[in-house]
Amino acid sequence: MEVIKTSIDGVVIIEPKVFKDARGYFFESFSQREFEEKVRKINFVQDNESMSSYGVMRGLHFQRPPFTQSKLVRCVKGAVLDVAVDIRKGSPTYGQHVAVELTEDNHRQFFVPRGFAHGFAVLSETAVFQYKCDNFYAPQADGGISIVDQSLGIDWKIPVEKALLSEKDTKHALLKDFESPFSFDMELYPEFNNKKTTNRL
């Protein structure tokens, strides 16, 4: 797999090596060994899948410590615009985002580390979206920031005023009113460290 760095350290795009012939295609969608060699140590414990129609926007979600999650996401049918927003207080990229289009044709995956809010918008008629998480879902730790916050400067590639949002996602705070549970010097992967270090990857 090829790992493509982005404008925010630790947030990466992954392109698998796809083998195509007259029968179709094959690729290795995840290798623990290769991921840890090229991205970071990880222990995914839960896989999720959603199906959404055009105009659906989900996010921007995160889980508060100690239940915070990394996510490795991909779109297996259709197309989505996927976004990670840095919400680590004190980070030089606080409030900044990385956006990537994930489609059934490009087979790209997007790694969203702990300390980031995550969301996506559906660009195709329907989309099937899959993601791996390195912590179990904990409803009591749910958090979010507004996915339609214009101060984030995200071009969602759909008319935001016509977007379909859950009731929960309409109630998240704007970034300016948001008190983040994360800081740039917080240890977000303590299970992989024997001594205190930062969460920078």
pLDDT of residue 162: 84
Catalytic residue among 97, 107, 118, 131: 131
pLDDT of residue 55: 96
pTM comes to 0.93
Catalytic residue among 61, 107, 118, 172: 61
pLDDT of residue 113: 98
pLDDT of residue 197: 38
Residue 61 a catalytic site member: yes
Residue 131 a catalytic site member: yes
| Tokens (6 digits) for 124 | 């195709």
Strand partners, 41: none
pLDDT of residue 198: 42
In a 13 Å sphere around the CA of 59, the CA atoms on its Cβ side amount to 22
At residue 34, φ and ψ (nearest 5 deg) are -70, -35
Domains of the chain and CATH, by start? 44-187 (2.60.120.10)
Helices (H), the chain: 32-38
pLDDT of residue 199: 44
pLDDT by 10-residue block (mean), the chain, 201 residues: 96 94 92 95 97 97 97 98 98 98 97 98 98 97 96 95 93 96 96 58 48
pLDDT of residue 194: 62
Q: Mind listing the pLDDT tens digit for each residue in 80-133?
A: 999 999 999 999 999 999 999 999 999 999 999 999 999 999 999 999 999 999
- Nearest-angstrom CA–CA distance, 191 and 153: 34
Share of the chain above pLDDT 70, in %: 96
- Nearest-angstrom CA–CA distance, 141 and 150: 25
